[in-house]
A and B are shown apart, each in its own frame.
Chain A
Amino acid sequence: GALVYQYPRRTICKSGTSMRMECQAVGFQATSVAWYRQSPQKTFELIALSTVNSAIKYEQNFTQEKFPISHPNLSFSSMTVLNAYLEDRGLYLCGARDHWGFYSDYTFGSGTRLLVI
């Protein structure tokens, strides 16, 4: 079946430092990858949508300068949170799908939980 692995599962970083999180798709081609953030007690906000061989599209309030994303092939994506501060804490979720598959739905990983101290 289709699976998405995210790592690390949780991480703690000092305020002002950066951390990188990874997303691995297994069993299908991740032609599109969506990165979401769930801040404490809130819903999932889309950070950006990445499609292989296309420009990465960032949502309002999120920028490439703060959340650079790499999507180099059909099974892997990574995102870095640069200069992390308290407001960046939360659960970061990666969802991947086969863009060319009709009726293809997002498969989500278990997330990377970021704590900033």
Chain B
Amino acid sequence: AQSVTQPDARVTVSEGASLQLRCKYSYFGTPYLFWYVQYPRQGLQLLLKYYPGDPVVQGVNGFEAEFSKSNSSFHLRKASVHWSDWAVYFCAASSGSFNKLTFGAGTRLAVCP
């Protein structure tokens, strides 16, 4: 079955430190991949997206993600975390541009001063 797995339910980093949030997918072929962020009491905002092509994609607010077909992964990275990045991050996948979006369980990011 098609699925998206975020193995870390919660990640805590110090402000200014680097960040990696993990995402693994299980899809036939190469899916379209997305990272969304949910700030407290808000909906979803798109951080970045991957369509087949360059494996490293740049997003907003200094986020980037790297697609790896061999590892079936799409990890999110940021070089220096800011306190305003405190939120829940969702990885999502779609098997095509016209198909439904499947979300991972989310990773809650806490930023320490």
A-B contact count (CB 8 A): 43
Dominant SS among interface residues on chain B? loop
In the complex, what residues of B have CB within 8 A of residue A91's CB? Answer: 43
User: A105 to B46, Cβ gap below 8 A?
Assistant: yes
Partner of A111, one of B34, B43, B90, B104: B43
* Chain B residues with a Cβ closer than 8 Å to the other chain, count: 20
Q: Which chain B residues numbered 22 to 51 have a C-beta less than 8 Å away from chain A? A: 34, 36, 41-46, 49, 51
Instruction: Using A110-B42, A110-B43 as known contacts, say yes or no to A103 and B97 having CB atoms under 8 A apart.
Output: yes
- For A36, give the chain B residue with the smallest CB separation: B103
Residues of A within 8 A of B (CB): 6, 32, 34, 36, 42-44, 46, 49, 91, 93, 95, 99, 102-106, 108-111, 113
Residues of B within 8 A of A (CB): 34, 36, 41-46, 49, 51, 90, 97-98, 100-106
